[in-house]
Amino acid sequence: MASSRPILFSKTQPCDFEVHVPRANAASRKDSMSAFAVKKTHVQLGANCTDPRNMGCVFEKLVSAGSTKAVAIRLVDADLQSWFCDYEASMVAMLHRNCVEWFGKEMDLSQARRMIASILRRDVVTVKCAKYVDVYKLDENQDCSRMELTDVLANSLCIPIVQFDGLFIAKHHFSCSFTVTAMLVGDVQSTREEAFSQFVQEEERDLDDPQTYLSDEASGHSFDTMKHDEYMSAFDV
């Protein structure tokens, strides 16, 4: 499937985040499933803006987890923070709506809500990096020049474009999977956006659990493993 044009986060619709029926992952990821996105929706995390001093996100750091690289991005735009919380809530509702079809089990909404392991820690979201991330540096003259992701300075303002991959579903939790594919970088420290999108890797590998590259120093999981241990043990995933 060809790369799609990015959608501004505030313009997304529920149909942009539909997923296929989950399938079992490889033996190396025992007791987990991948629910792949129906569309490879690209979401621009920030509003249209060409001011390098005014963007909606801040680049925090690169994170390594084995062969996987991820990037931690601080959401400084309050509307963007609200959108992300609402988005994850909609994924909980999707799981609840489809649990009988997907797992042959019923689950009430409160149980589904406690299963989500958010990729948002306070105001920082951590997402996987594509094999190649298309990065541009925006200067005060509104000119763009290419740069490497590894050269982006911590605390740089930025506008990432992320691709929705689907849901990673484990025995006791599920997480939303995104991959950053492009990023517009501004000055060090501020608020807002604009951008591009390309280099979508078309491969049907298992989804990685986003929890593997989230920082241990952040607040704990949002799901109650002990409380659901007995219930989830009956889940044939």
Q: What is the pLDDT of residue 231?
A: 40
- Parallel/antiparallel/unpaired status of strands 33-36 and 156-169: antiparallel
Q: What is the pLDDT of residue 208?
A: 78
Q: What is the pLDDT of residue 64?
A: 85
Q: Enumerate the domain spans of the chain.
A: 7-11+32-204+221-228
Q: What is the pLDDT of residue 204?
A: 61
Q: Is the pLDDT of residue 149 over 80?
A: yes
Mean predicted confidence (pLDDT) in 114-142: 90
Contact in structure between 199 and 3 (CB atoms under 8 Å): yes
- Tell me the sheet residues that pair with 64: 69
Mean predicted confidence (pLDDT) in 123-133: 93
pLDDT digits (tens, 9 = 90+) for 150-190: 999 999 999 999 999 999 998 888 999 999 999 999 988 73
Q: Is the pLDDT of residue 4 over 90?
A: no
pLDDT digits (tens, 9 = 90+) for 11-30: 999 999 999 999 998 876 67
Distance, in Å, from the CA atom of 144 to the CA atom of 194, rounded to the nearest integer, reads 12
For residues 195, 198, 199 and 201, what is the CA-based torsion angle, rounded to 10 degrees? Answer: 110
What does pTM read for this prediction? 0.76
Q: Is the pLDDT of residue 111 over 90?
A: no
Give CA 16 to chain center in angstroms.
14
Q: What is the pLDDT of residue 54?
A: 83
* Domain 7-11+32-204+221-228: which CATH number of 2.60.40, 1.10.287, 2.40.50, 2.40.128: 2.40.50
- What percentage of the chain exceeds 90 in pLDDT? 49
